[in-house]
Amino acid sequence: MRTIIIAEAGVNHNGNLKIAKQLVDVAKLAKADYVKFQSFSHDKLVTKIAPKANYQKSNFNNKETQGSMLQRLQLSLSDHLKLIDYCKHKKIKFLSTAFDIDNLKFLLKNKIDFIKIPSGEITNLSLLKYIKKKNKKILLSTGASTLNEVEKALIILNKSNKNITVLQCNSAYPTPIKDLNLNTLNTFKKNFNCNIGLSDHSLSTIVPAAAVAMGATIIEKHFTLSRKMIGPDHKSSLEPKELVQMIKNIREIEVALGNSKKIITKSEAENRKIIRKSLVAYKNISKGQKFTIKNVIAKRPAGGISPMNIQTVLGKRAIRNFKPDEIIQL
């Protein structure tokens, strides 16, 4: 299967439609399948006095509230529509994460392929129940969640729904490599018999490919025009060239995985005879002399008697003289 790669622009547009379109361009150039944004209403997402997380206290204004920060980063519905049209023009699929039911209704009206449930909404019962009623593919992020919380969310969404992909995620920005815990992917498969993926907040371009090797079918990764830009998520995002490299790594791993059959491939067939061995004379052997472990040895190339069949040779008598390195024939 071909891994679905979601280039997560998130709020790295800084509330600027022009920058958002540039992010679309970058995702398209990198050959991502989707470019994803975030759809929220700041006054419905946080209280007026909610503080910013430490990672959000970037070089803009550490004294502002989370709400005022999100207000700056919020895209209008009109901007959303313009982005959707721009993505169609650029021939890359648009996706966005809704943080409330109203914004989700708007996205569904515009026919998004997936409903993405962000990590922070995994305990939002009303939102989960609303999503359950929709016949849509679901991506469930699990950052800062316990296995029990993940299971509860899946039960609400309908645990047997094969359209759900559970994404391993760590809600540190950026995520330290030691905290990625990719083996959780195996836990999800074992416990929930579900599709698995990775929402990766690390700065690694290799980790997503490793997740694909473990069976991840969807990869989501934040990217930015530059980590030097002002904003909460830029420092934990890949820059354009890194996004390109990450996707190349994933596509190479997909090819390298091949299938489960152990076969002799066309590329190696020509070397088979060169690297395998035949039984040859180790020293001069006279006609009528017995073959023994002292005068028979296995050497390259193949084409004669396989060393696996040495017992059929030992003790037999030579039908003619053999010189050193000459392939033995009975």
Mean pLDDT (10-residue bins), the chain, 330 residues: 95 97 98 98 92 75 83 96 98 98 98 98 98 96 98 93 95 97 98 97 98 98 97 95 98 95 94 96 97 98 96 96 94
Verify that 143 and 15 share a domain, yes or no: yes
CA atoms within 13 A on the CB side of 179: 14
Residues 269 and 212 in one domain: no
CA–CA–CA angle 125, 128, 133 (5° rounding): 130
Same-domain pairing of 279 and 231: no
Q: Is residue 44 left, alpha or beta, with left meaning phi > 0 and alpha meaning psi from -120 to 50?
A: alpha
Final residue of a structural domain among 257, 290, 320 = 257
At residue 56, the pLDDT reads: 82
Please give the residue range of the domain that contains residue 287: 262-330
Q: What is the pLDDT at residue 61?
A: 63
CATH number of 204's domain? 3.20.20.70
**Number of domain units in the chain:** 2
For residues 96 and 167, membership in a common domain is answered with yes
Whole-angstrom distance, CA of residue 61 vs CA of residue 20: 22
This prediction's pTM? 0.91
pLDDT at 60: 61
**Contact residues for 328 (Cβ-Cβ < 8 A; gap 6+):** 278, 279, 280, 281, 291, 296, 304, 305, 313, 318, 322
In terms of domains, do 202 and 122 share one? yes
> Are 108 and 93 members of one domain?
yes
**Same domain for 174 and 213?**
yes
Q: Are residues 316 and 210 in the same domain?
A: no
Co-location of 163 and 205 in the same domain: yes
Report pLDDT for 263: 94
Q: How far apart are CA 62 and CA 56, in angstroms?
A: 8
pLDDT at position 64 is: 83
Helices and strands in the chain: count of H runs, count of E runs: 11, 10
* C-alpha to C-alpha distance for 56 and 53, rounded to whole angstroms: 5
Residues 165 and 289 in one domain: no
Q: Is the domain of 232 the same as that of 289?
A: no
Helix or strand or coil: residue 280? Answer: strand
Q: Of 257, 288, 310, which residue is a domain's last?
A: 257
Please indicate, yes or no, whether residues 243 and 282 belong to a single structural domain of this protein.
Answer: no
Question: What CATH number is given to the structural domain containing 266?
Answer: 3.90.1210.10
Q: End of a domain among 257, 275, 307?
A: 257
